[in-house]
Chains A and B, each alone.
Chain A
Amino acid sequence: MAGHVAELDSKTLWGGKESPFSTSYGKLMMWFFLVSDALTFTGLLIAYGFTRHDVQDAWPIGEETFNSMPFLGHGYPLLYVALMTFILIVSSVTMVLAVEAGHRMDRKGVVKWMIATIIGGFFFLGSQAWEWSHFIHGSEFGKIELADGSQAIVKGHFGEINNFKVTIAGSEHKKGDVIKEDLLHTFHHAAVLGHIENGMIKLHDGSIAKINKQDDHDMVLIVKKAGKNHILNARIEGKEAEKMYYESLYSGIANKVVYGADLKDNEYGPQQYGQFFFFITGFHGFHVFSGVIINIIILLGVVAGTYHKRGHYEMVEKTGLYWHFVDLVWVFVFTFFYLI
């Protein structure tokens, strides 16, 4: 058999020759890969939708969860995510400009626009790191379990803690000591453990201190899990909210409050919410990261002149396809995770 095959030349063998799509092999394969990757993300987002409909606790609302800006604090619903979306769109534009420069064999243009794309990619990754850190650390108030068993998220302005004044000495602090460092962290830690009772905090060395804290303002409790007295999405405001919140927080019972998020629990909503947040945005972030790395590798090839010698810049086009795909996925994540 092998002998027969060797006798056939390319004229008798049809062997393809023309592509029915007038496209090179590499580009078509990149498209096939992107289709399969798109199916993965679609599966994740559909699973997210399924869970959201299935979980009976109220699902968090994007503008309630993501309303912070770096340096500016709270009260800017969705602005930060919009900024991230804009960064990614712009880096997609610089990428398409690099591809266009490649079609004109303009090596300098390709280098310029690819560097811009890579910088955009790093900006996006940095933004995502900030958002993850913010999501994990959570707000000053946390999510509180009220006396009737319902759970509520808390909005408003958290009054600053001035100091802790020791009233009963422990192994480290003497009576009359005023503690001024690491206050919020200590406060949160003690609250979770149930070490705060009636405004008195029990420190880790066993001493008891009085909490000097400024008043909170504009507090709103939004019920996310119904209890005996409160229905889902009920809003409790003002003095009543403060009374209920501190009744629970200063009850001396452990695990009445949740701060931030980990894989087990989060202050924003049901457990699955945190898991989907970490998985979907994490998987997308991983794509952005690998995209930046691939872009850097291709950029090195462009600088070295590899593609210029080859006579075409198709490698830039292929990595461009991947980079646009990352942008495309973010458009969907933005809508289904943050807007709706």
Chain B
Amino acid sequence: MERDDLIEYSLHTHHSEEKGKEIRKKIIFVTVLLTAVTILEVGLGAFIKQSNAIWPFVKWSFVILTLFKAGYIVMVFMHLGDERKWMRYVILLPYFIFVLYLIFIALWEGLAVGQAWETYGF
């Protein structure tokens, strides 16, 4: 059955020249930001050895900087920030629920496996 009442959303995403200029500015800003963060990470990784006392701090800052970069890629480059609120949640919530569960279970089981190694040896 041919439907003539459906909305063609693909046609609603066009924008004007001025809006395009604005968007390109934002893209350049995010590019510079992502590059700067990557340079910072490599600098930290090259100069601070894992035996250094502040390594745990550096390690966690790597994780935070990575999530920061990921946030910009998903929200700006992938335009998820421009989508409707509930679409964002539908994409992000199931993912985070599963991932947090997986991290929890991996750490918990990892502990048990580690103890088994210690008790019974290789």
Query: Taking A317-B13, A331-B73, A335-B63 as contacts, is the C-beta distance between A15 and B46 under 8 angstroms?
Result: no
Q: Which A residues, 45 to 95, have Cβ-Cβ distances below 8 Å to chain B?
A: 46-47, 49-50, 53-54, 56, 61-63, 77-79, 82, 85-86, 89-90, 92-93, 95
Closest residue of B by beta carbon distance from A332: B66
Contact A97 B5, beta carbon cutoff 8 Å: no
Is A140 interfacial (CB-CB < 8 Å)?
Answer: no
Are A54's CB and B117's CB within 8 A? yes
Q: Which chain A residue lies CB-closest to B55?
A: A340
Q: Does A43 contact B (CB under 8 A)?
A: yes
Give the residue name and chain of the B residue nearest to A92 (CB): B77
B11-30 contacts to A, CB under 8 A, are 11-17, 20, 23-24, 27, 30
Q: What residues of A have a CB within 8 angstroms of the CB of B73 in the complex? A: 92, 324, 327-328, 331
Contact call B87/A21, Cβ cutoff below 8 A: yes
Q: Are A85 and B38 in contact (CB under 8 A)?
A: yes
Is the C-beta of B57 less than 8 angstroms from some C-beta in chain A? no
Which residues of the other chain, A, contact B10 by a CB distance below 8 angstroms?
Answer: 24, 26-27, 311-312, 314
Chain B: residues with Cβ within 8 Å of the partner, total of 63
| A28, B91: Cα distance in complex, Å | 9
Q: Is the interface of B mostly helix, strand, loop or mixed?
A: helix
Bound Cα distance from A50 to B104, whole angstroms: 11
- Are the CB atoms of A89 and B31 closer together than 8 Å? yes
**Known: A54-B114, A54-B117. Is A103-B13 also a contact (CB below 8 A)?**
yes
Q: Say yes or no: B1 contacts A10, CB within 8 Å.
A: yes
B9 at the interface (CB under 8 A from A): yes
Is residue B45 contacting chain A, with contact meaning CB distance below 8 A?
yes
Taken residue by residue from 326 to 337, chain A's Cβ proximity to chain B (1 for < 8 Å, 0 otherwise) reads as: 011001101100
Interchain CB contact under 8 A, B42 and A10: no
Q: With both chains docked as a complex, state the minimum distance between the C-beta of A322 and any C-beta of chain B, in angstroms.
A: 10
Q: Which of B3, B45, B79 counts the most chain A CB atoms within 10 A? A: B45
CB distance B63 to A77 under 8 Å?
no
Name the prevailing secondary structure of the A interface residues. helix
Q: Is A18 an interface residue (CB 8 A)?
A: yes
Q: A63-B45, A331-B69 are in contact. Are A35 and B91 (CB under 8 A)?
A: yes
List B residues 97-113 near A (Cβ within 8 Å): 98-99, 102-103, 106, 109-110, 113
What residues on A are CB-neighbors of B76 within 8 Å? 96
Instruction: Please report the C-alpha to C-alpha distance between residue A89 and residue B73 in the assembled complex, in whole angstroms.
Output: 9
Known: A63-B46, A78-B45, A104-B15. A19 touches B70 (CB 8 A): no
Chain A residues near B99 (CB-CB < 8 A): 39, 42
Which residue of the partner chain B has the closest CB to A335? B66
Interface status of A31 (Cβ within 8 A of chain B): yes
Q: Does B54 contact A (CB under 8 A)?
A: no
B-chain residues with CB within 8 Å of residue A97 when the two chains form the complex: 24, 27
A-B contact pairs, 5 of them (CB 8 A): A93-B27, A103-B14, A311-B10, A312-B14, A325-B78
- Having A10-B5, A100-B27, A327-B77, one finds 5 other A-B pairs with CB under 8 Å, namely A10-B4, A54-B117, A78-B46, A92-B73, A101-B20
A-side residues, CB < 8 A to B, are 10-11, 15-24, 26-28, 31, 35, 38-39, 42-43, 46-47, 49-50, 53-54, 56, 61-63, 77-79, 82, 85-86, 89-90, 92-93, 95-97, 99-101, 103-105, 233, 311-312, 314, 317, 320-321, 324-325, 327-328, 331-332, 334-335, 338-340
